[in-house]
Amino acid sequence: MPKPDKTSIDKCSTCGNFTLSTSAHGISLPEGTFCKDCLAELVKIGLAQRTQKTVRWYYSIPFVILELLLFGPFALPLLWKSDRFSSLVKVVLTLIVAIFTVLIAIYAMALIKKASAYFQSTIDLLE
């Protein structure tokens, strides 16, 4: 293994220990040069940040409730993908949305029948 020249010896940006420059190894690291111990710690921190779950704003409780109120059954996939609700709450909210959807459909059908009867009586009067 060839010995490094003096220009490739550098100080670690974190702890100040002497180390080989990253250019000597062909590795490019952001913002400075690191010794093997500090580099291992930085890699651990980076992996921990990558593996942390990031909670999306659209899975928050107020937003999901608002979507359920505005869009009814179309917001159920958002409810079931959210980790903020327990399984029991998801089932209860799904049943509530389903019941309200059926009630609204029945009410809409009754309104359509009334409107149809009204228009039919208007047509009969015109004839």
Two tokens at 95? 């049943």
Cβ-in-10-Å burial (0-12, 13-18, 19+) of 68 comes to buried
Q: Which segments of the chain have a pLDDT < 50?
A: 23-29
Q: Are residues 119 and 66 in the same domain?
A: yes
Q: Are residues 83 and 112 in the same domain?
A: yes
- Can you give the pLDDT at residue 28? 47
Q: Are residues 21 and 64 in the same domain?
A: no
Q: Are residues 98 and 116 in the same domain?
A: yes
- Can you give the pLDDT at residue 24? 46
Asked whether residue 41 is assigned to any structural domain, the reply reads yes
Domain that holds residue 115: 60-126
Please, which residues have CB within 8 angstroms of residue 4's CB and are 6 or more apart in sequence?
20, 24
Task: Tell me the per-residue pLDDT of 88-119, one tens digit each, with 9 for 90 and over.
Answer: 999 999 999 999 999 999 999 999 999 999 99
Q: Are residues 66 and 99 in the same domain?
A: yes
Q: Are residues 45 and 68 in the same domain?
A: no
Q: How far is CA 29 from CA 3, 23, 43, 50, in A?
A: 22, 9, 11, 18
- Can you give the pLDDT at residue 81? 93
Q: Are residues 68 and 118 in the same domain?
A: yes
- Can you give the pLDDT at residue 118? 94
Number of domains within the chain: 2
